[in-house]
Amino acid sequence: MLATRSLAAAIILTFLAMVAAPPAAASRIKDVVNFEGIRDNMLIGYGLVVGLAGTGDSLRNAPFTRQSLESMLERLGVNTRGANLNTNNVAAVMVTASLPPFSIQGNRIDVSISTMGDANDLRGGTLLVTPLMGADGEVYAVAQGPIATGGFTAGGQGGGVTKGVPTTGMISNGAIIERSIEFDLAALEKVKISLRNPDFTTARRIARVINKNISGTPAQAINPSIVQLTIPAAYPGGTMALLTDIEQLRVTPDQPANVVIDESSGIIVMGKDVRVSTVAIAQGNLTIRVTETPQVSQPNPFSQGGTTQTVPRTDIEIEDGTEKKLTVLKNSVSLDELVNGLNALGVGPADMISILQAIKAAGALQADITVM
């Protein structure tokens, strides 16, 4: 009796856990939306990399590198105007970085470096002090430090080898933030929640989930891209706590049926809602293969007047696709059935792309096709 009760209790607990658990396809709101004002800002700068082992810019082919080098030396009290500079240990580079939201002065961020001239390797180089500016022209960070590259190049007169991209690199924590972007989150009365993949159904679901868990129905779906959130005046913890609670809520995103095709690589990605009306598909190609294997005929030993002759031998193979079958895909088949039906024809990705486009042209594919 006790064993039976224990088993029944275990079954009930398992059932309740399954009911209480969120759906497998549900995602956190923070993973499908962006909050207004909370975003990165792009920074860019121009600088010089020194210390290269003869792999830098050729000053004759990169006049901007020469001008930058002369200007830098003049600021340090060295006059090189008119001198014959012939170093190839310096490279002009573009420096880029991303300024995270709410970054404060003194924090460090990563920077990426890319060459501009004909330098072929940044290994061993050091970036000199480089101001990083925002879109408004103001300096928000300053970068400097040794560069780490993920590739190399080596070679001689007879050939060479290159691994990765040695003309790019990065400096981890290589820039110091000198100015922060002011944004008063606590003063906001309304916050716009922007969907990363706009959709009517998903926007409405987000508003419903928020209103279900936050009293006062503060959320309203304005359009497929934006859900407007009104900040309750008496919410414990203010705007920060409200957004923290909201981004942990779960919602099931809904997207239109779509087939994405990358013809260059043969990649096909189909959404789970792709459906196909009743359609018959046949796939086959006519292939004629002609192989020439000439043979040499020689006279018998000690024969009189015999000569060596070349005898042609031709082998012809014809593949007319007779082994291919006509496959019928029934009405409203699922994604699995569609893939299994196409695989039954023995087709590869390239032929499958053509078949999907033909099904779409016939009006039987209930989905959009996006060709990359």
**pLDDT tens digits for the chain (372 residues)?**
444 444 444 444 444 444 444 444 688 999 999 998 888 999 999 999 999 988 899 988 888 988 898 888 888 888 877 777 788 899 999 999 999 998 999 999 999 999 999 998 899 899 999 999 999 999 999 999 999 987 666 665 555 666 678 899 999 999 999 998 888 888 888 899 999 999 999 999 999 999 999 888 899 999 999 999 998 888 888 888 899 999 999 999 988 888 888 877 777 787 777 777 777 766 665 454 556 577 777 777 766 666 777 777 766 565 555 555 555 555 556 656 666 666 666 666 777 777 778 878 877 777 888 887
Determine the pLDDT at residue 156.
Answer: 59
Examine residue 279 and state whether it is found in any structural domain, yes or no: yes
Q: Are residues 49 and 111 both part of a single domain?
A: yes
Please state the domain count of the chain: 3
AA letter at 329: L
Examine residue 330 and state whether it is found in any structural domain, yes or no: yes
Q: Give ∠ CA 126-132-134 in degrees, rounded to 5.
A: 160
> Residue 340's CB: how many other CB atoms inside 10 A?
13
Q: Are residues 343 and 241 both part of a single domain?
A: no
Q: Which residues contact 45 (CB under 8 A, 6 or more apart)?
A: 94, 95, 96, 130, 131, 132, 133, 143
Query: Three-state DSSP class for 236?
Result: coil
> Residue 255's CB: how many other CB atoms inside 10 A?
13
CA–CA distances in Å: residue 178 to residues 103, 106, 113, 173: 10, 6, 19, 14
Examine residue 107 and state whether it is found in any structural domain, yes or no: yes
- In this structure, are strands 368-371 and 258-262 parallel, antiparallel, or unpaired? parallel
Examine residue 79 and state whether it is found in any structural domain, yes or no: yes
Largest Cα–Cα distance of the chain, in whole Å? 118
Q: Are residues 136 and 214 both part of a single domain?
A: no
What letter would DSSP give residue 333? Answer: B
Q: Are residues 333 and 247 both part of a single domain?
A: no
Examine residue 18 and state whether it is found in any structural domain, yes or no: no
Residue where a domain stops, chosen among 251, 267, 284: 251
Q: Which residues pair with 48 in a beta bridge?
A: 92
Q: Are residues 363 and 341 both part of a single domain?
A: yes
Determine the pLDDT at residue 204.
Answer: 94
Q: Are residues 317 and 195 both part of a single domain?
A: no
The pair of structure tokens assigned to 240 is: 């920060």
**DSSP symbols for 254-287:** ----EEEEETTTTEEEE-TT-EE-SEEE-----E
Q: Helix, strand, coil shares of the chain as percentages rounded to 5?
A: 25, 35, 45
Q: Are residues 143 and 236 both part of a single domain?
A: no
Phi and psi torsions of 370, nearest 5°: -110, 120
Residues in the chain: 372
Q: Contact, 37 vs 183, CB < 8 A?
A: yes
The pair of structure tokens assigned to 282 is: 């046949």
Q: Are residues 336 and 269 both part of a single domain?
A: yes
Examine residue 304 and state whether it is found in any structural domain, yes or no: no
Examine residue 91 and state whether it is found in any structural domain, yes or no: yes
Q: Which residues of 280-318 are buried (b: 16+ CB within 10 A; e: fewer)?
A: ebebbeeeeeeeeeeeeeeeeeeeeeeeeeeeeeeeeee
Task: Name the strands in the sheet holding 368-371, side by side, starting at the edge strand that comes first in the sequence.
Answer: 267-270, 258-262, 368-371
Q: Which residues contact 81 (CB under 8 A, 6 or more apart)?
A: 70, 74
Give the residue from 148, 149, 119, 145 showing the smallest Cα distance to 53: 119
CA–CA gap between residue 180 and residue 134 (Å, rounded): 11
Residue 82's domain spans which residues? 41-149+166-177
Q: Are residues 246 and 366 both part of a single domain?
A: no
Q: Give the CA radius of gyration of the chain.
A: 34
The pair of structure tokens assigned to 89 is: 């240990």
The pair of structure tokens assigned to 138 is: 């103001």
Q: Are residues 223 and 345 both part of a single domain?
A: no
AA letter at 158: G
Examine residue 35 and state whether it is found in any structural domain, yes or no: no
Q: Are residues 356 and 271 both part of a single domain?
A: yes
Q: Are residues 87 and 114 both part of a single domain?
A: yes
